[in-house]
Amino acid sequence: MLSIKHHGAVQGVTGSCHELFVDSDQSVLVDCGLFQGAETSGSGASSNSLEIDFDLSSVQALVITHVHIDHVGRLPYLLAAGFTGPIYCSKPSAELLPLVIEDALKVGVTRNASIIKACLDRLVSQLVPLEYKEWTNAPLTSNHTTKVQVRLCRAGHILGSAYVVFRVEGGDLCRPKGTTLYLFLMGV
């Protein structure tokens, strides 16, 4: 059954991180950002934590809406936590993302060149740049009756920004057989 779990941008607007569950065993993450400003000093759960404090075992892919740090800043921690799936984003975002992550690592984590290079190499190897308005199949490993596709559409927020459209077909969607469910997520 489809559901969405929010791992950020709940008590405020930073730390965008949302998980779309296709079923109990498979999900797609949308953004993985840092908490910023007043949200880092609040008493909210994990508002001042950089780690990934949720289970990644069901996460099959990550979709990046844009490269502001409050949408991508926890990406190195996601990789360090063991995420190995594809990272979908627009082509302009794919160009900008390594630069933003490199800068964030140098400013907030380490200046150790080998650590930064290892993180960036891993990030680049998982990046899947997408054209706007083209459907792409998202990988699902444990259920072949459900098909999930992703499409990015221009959001006009910053260079490369997009809102995400998911098309979900089949599976247990509590809908008549053969129907398609569309979900729109925007992270601006």
Give per-residue pLDDT as tens, 78-102.
999 999 999 999 999 999 999 999 9
For residue 128, give the DSSP letter: E
Q: Are 165 and 153 in contact (CB under 8 A)?
A: yes
Phi/psi at 133 (nearest 5 deg)? 65, 20
Domains of the chain: 3-186 (3.60.15.10)
Q: Radius of gyration (Cα) for the chain, nearest Å?
A: 16
pTM of this structure: 0.86
Q: Are 161 and 175 in contact (CB under 8 A)?
A: no
Give per-residue pLDDT as tens, 131-144.
999 999 998 876 55
